[in-house]
Chain A
């Protein structure tokens, strides 16, 4: 049984996981009072109509009078067919709103991910190679600074300096510029910088500590004793085993970004991405959008973990994919 079978089974499991999560979400929703029904009941009462009748009419309109099993099946089918409902506040389908937000989120999250994956192992290994020297302390200090300072605050400060004082970057986000234009790069540079410094701290420290362990490993001594150059020792013998635990951290960071970190950064830099969409929908109590974006995060988390598992087996051959 090979890698293909393992991937097939992992994908099937990922499907089961989303299925369970969505079922639980549906259960919670079905058990809680529907705001649209309570609104109808309240306005009926205020207009002097029969609240009980209004409740029945609204329930029928929303399909809530159907048996639970049918409602459950309908809901699950519509989730998997990407029919995620209608947003009242935005007057557009939820999937469309999510796709709109995703379009802007992806523009900074892809460069962010690539930069973190490239930079943090390099700084981490550089730090470990110069352990306890001023270079190590400088790299660690930089990492901790980015880790410690809240992204939104750092974003505001940089916006003040580079946007207001120096005028190098636009203060407001312009959605009209092309994705690969210079103007877009300019307006995204600071948000990406803020996010990279914010997440590099954690991954860089993991890279540093893991590689510090491997620098003293027997196999590194073997490589040295057989005449391998120091650069190659770092690039091949230390980098590769370090990437195994690091990949976990990077995936974790990516998920945290999609959910938490990007939200405030998008608000600060007025980027109309997923984070800001979720933020505004919560304020406006637009349940279907909140649910839709949450569903999207569920899919991202599942896919992220799936990719992480697959990367693991490629990076560390000792992890067997056929036994699991």
Chain B
């Protein structure tokens, strides 16, 4: 018997109507998350990863946004849900935490008020006192010292890391099965980042949550991911287990990203060029204009389909199609492994 994935996203498209034309932020991506799994969605700023994560529970503002494709949570199609069901699943089974904890909490209300609101949105019968007690428990759980006394403090009286802890506590209110974390540590300094990652790791074990972790930071990916999906310009470039991605990065884009890590070949210069125009993307492979291995065939037709590198490890690159020699990209196997692991351990 095959088990159903926790979340299954198929051919997700998210477009925005703008004055310049239709902007395609997410262009047909698919992925699955198993129960208790941590999947990292990786890509540089503007690659569409945040929009993809917000398309899952339809948080994208519509209009101008429009989400197409199938998103199934435990076999239930989120796209078919009415407003009431959507509200139940948002913050119920699927919780979110966001990039910038400074603005993610409403500055006009106390932290306790906002957690109580989250509780009562899903359990209208819970009284205020009971909800407050629950808030104290959760705040203690995420490591806010003296939680009972801090319940009536306002967000500006908390530090950035503490605010993110409050956000996490708020997300845990309903014991969610999936936590969508959109760059939750990007706005925090490195020591706080490590604490938050450790906290998420502990909570994942405790609550058995699946986590969709959106980040541009490959160092974080190496630390927490089970599987990885690499995105560029709204398309999936490469996917595989965390070992696949770091030991045998196969798409030129993934390789370039890894080389950008501190100590890597590109740690100073980065990847030359910029993201393509999302209103009018180039023909062929989205990464071709910036790719050093691109051949003329890369610039025609559609974006290449994902071809197997090995097992579940897929790369959307012409070199992995039959008839092309992939060693052009990663060189002799041993060499590639040495490069990749070297890059990671340095971080």
Contact = CB atoms under 8 A, between A and B. Distances in A.
A227 B96 CA distance: 10
Interface string B68-91: 000000000000000100011111
Nearest to B113: A236
A226 B121 contact: yes
B104 interface: yes
Interface stretch (A52-60, A90-98, A314-322): A314-322
B103 A217 contact: yes
A219 B104 contact: yes
Interface in A215-259: 216-219, 221-230, 236-237, 240-241
A226 B117 contact: yes
Main secondary structure of the interface of A (DSSP, over half): helix
A237 to B, nearest CB: 5
Contact of A237 (B106, B118, B156): B106
Contacts of A315: 108
Contact of B92 (A221, A227, A230): A227
B91 A316 contact: no
Contacts of A240: 106, 108-109
Contacts of A317: 107-108, 110, 154, 156
Interface residues of A, number: 22
Nearest to B170: A226
Contact of A228 (B96, B103, B105, B117): B117
A240 to B, nearest CB: 4
A223 B92 CA distance: 12
Contact of A222 (B61, B87, B156, B167): B167
B98 interface: yes
Contacts of B121: 226-229
B294 to A, nearest CB: 38
Nearest to A216: B61
Given A219-B106, A317-B107, A317-B154, A225 B91 contact: yes
Nearest to B174: A227
Nearest to A243: B108
Contacts of A219: 103-107
Contact of B90 (A216, A226, A241): A226
A309 B59 CA distance: 37
Of listed A225, A228, A318, residue having the most chain B CB within 10 A: A225
Contacts of B167: 222
B57 interface: yes
B122 interface: yes
A317 B167 CA distance: 19
Contacts of B105: 219, 222
A317 B111 CA distance: 12
Contact of A225 (B59, B106, B154): B59
B100 interface: yes
Contact of B87 (A217, A227, A241): A227
B212 interface: no
A319 to B, nearest CB: 10
A236 B109 CA distance: 9
Contacts of B87: 227-229
Contacts of B88: 227
B231 interface: no
A318 B104 CA distance: 15
Given A218-B103, A317-B107, A318-B107, A227 B98 contact: no
A241 B106 contact: yes
Given A226-B170, A227-B122, A318-B156, A218 B108 contact: no
Contact of A318 (B83, B122, B154): B154
A217 B89 CA distance: 21
Lowest 4 CB-CB distances: which A-B pairs, in order? Answer: A226-B91, A227-B91, A225-B96, A218-B103
25 contacts: A216-B61, A218-B100, A218-B103, A219-B107, A221-B96, A222-B96, A222-B98, A222-B106, A223-B106, A225-B57, A225-B59, A225-B91, A225-B95, A225-B96, A225-B98, A226-B117, A227-B88, A227-B90, A228-B87, A236-B109, A241-B107, A317-B107, A317-B110, A318-B107, A318-B154
